[in-house]
Homo-oligomer: A and B are copies of this chain.
Amino acid sequence: MAADSQVVRQVVRRVPRWRDLAPFLRPRPFRWRSADRRLARCLSVDDLEGAARRRVPTAVWDYVYGGSDGEHAMRRNRAAFDRVELLPTAFGQVGEPEVRTSILGRPAAAPIVLAPTGYTRLSHHTGERAVAAAAAAAGLPYTLSTYATTSITDVADAAPQGRNWFQVYLMKDRAVTLDHITEAASQGYEALMLTIDTTVTGMKRKDKLNGFAIPPQLSLRTFAGMTRHPGWVSNILTTEPLRFATFPEGSHYGRWGMSNELREQAIRPSDIGWLKEHWSGPVVVKGVLSVADAVAAVDAGAEGVDATLTLLVEELRRAMCLLGTPDVAAIGPEHVRLRSA
């Protein structure tokens, strides 16, 4: 206490000068576009999530953000990401970290591929066009969903320089799938991504209560929620109507027809071979939930697997622990191949 008091007594006081304060009080530059103002306050993915939540009706947010049944798997996936810990090595790092990498043999700005999302124009009327263009500008591959609300050709027109991939939901009527592949090939798409874990759509409880069913039956509450977002409603009403635009207009596939009946219910590794017969580029398998499926996909000729983090990594982790290999930070397809061999 004595030392502290001595320092306090020795403090030299002075009259404040404007030039000492000025640097702290510079006003922030004003941004004229409201979207720019909103984005200026987004400094993390959580901030972007909050901004998005405020822009769309609750029912739309529930559709985009909600998980199946009790949302246990969704929470587990998030928890798995939260458990990830990066262990940096301080010595030997270079000035500017390099995240550029190679994906399917071609350079990418980062080890990131934009995953396919259905109904994208429901979130924002510019939809798939805007996302594909942003991905192209960022140097990342973009994957268009079979259940997109913009056609394969329109996306290629919006992002002609992009690395566009097309996600295949295998249809029972393979002719429909062949049409998709043919259009993607003619529009210069780079790769096909075959989804294998959604042969039946999950029971999304919130969507059913909101009336986001197939076919849709909006509840009064959902309708009321939409009226609180007049900008969103106005954009939806004055732009092209929402439809599954990868299917021909007027077909029963094209109008909110994402039904379990039309999709192939039993996908087999041999389906990868069938795809490769009709497609000269690479095939990536998405929705791999077990090591067995990853091995089967690669054995059947897939150029890549997109494994759901939680389950696969945890299974590998357990396997590695038993084998006495504690370091499971860098698990890749080559580990899977080893087990297959």
Residues of A within 8 A of B (CB): 2-4, 6-8, 10-17, 20-21, 23-28, 41, 43-44, 46-47, 69-70, 72, 76, 82, 85, 87-96, 125-126, 129-130, 133-134, 136-137, 158-159, 196-197, 199, 203, 205, 208-209, 211, 215-219, 223, 237-242, 255-256, 265-269, 287-290, 292-293, 296-297, 311, 315, 318, 322, 324, 326
Contacts and interface: CB of A to CB of B under 8 A. Distances in A.
A289 B91 CA distance: 10
Contacts of A6: 133
Contacts of A209: 41, 43
* Candidate in A8, A239, A296, A315 with the most chain B CB atoms within 10 angstroms: A8
Nearest to A26: B217
A91 B205 contact: no
Nearest to A312: B87
Contact of A267 (B23, B90, B219, B239): B90
A256 B2 CA distance: 32
A44 B28 contact: no
A283 to B, nearest CB: 14
Contact of A88 (B91, B197, B218): B197
A28 to B, nearest CB: 5
Stoichiometry, as copies per complex, reads 4
12 contacts: A7-B129, A10-B129, A16-B237, A24-B218, A25-B223, A26-B216, A43-B203, A43-B205, A46-B70, A88-B197, A90-B289, A91-B196
Contact of A3 (B20, B92, B133, B287): B133
A217 B94 contact: no
A129 B20 CA distance: 21
Contacts of A92: 266, 268
A110 B123 CA distance: 40
Contacts of A240: 12, 14
* Candidate in A27, A91, A133, A293 with the most chain B CB atoms within 10 angstroms: A91
Nearest to A205: B43
6 nearest A-B pairs in the assembled complex, by CB-CB distance: A95-B265, A20-B241, A3-B133, A16-B237, A3-B137, A90-B196
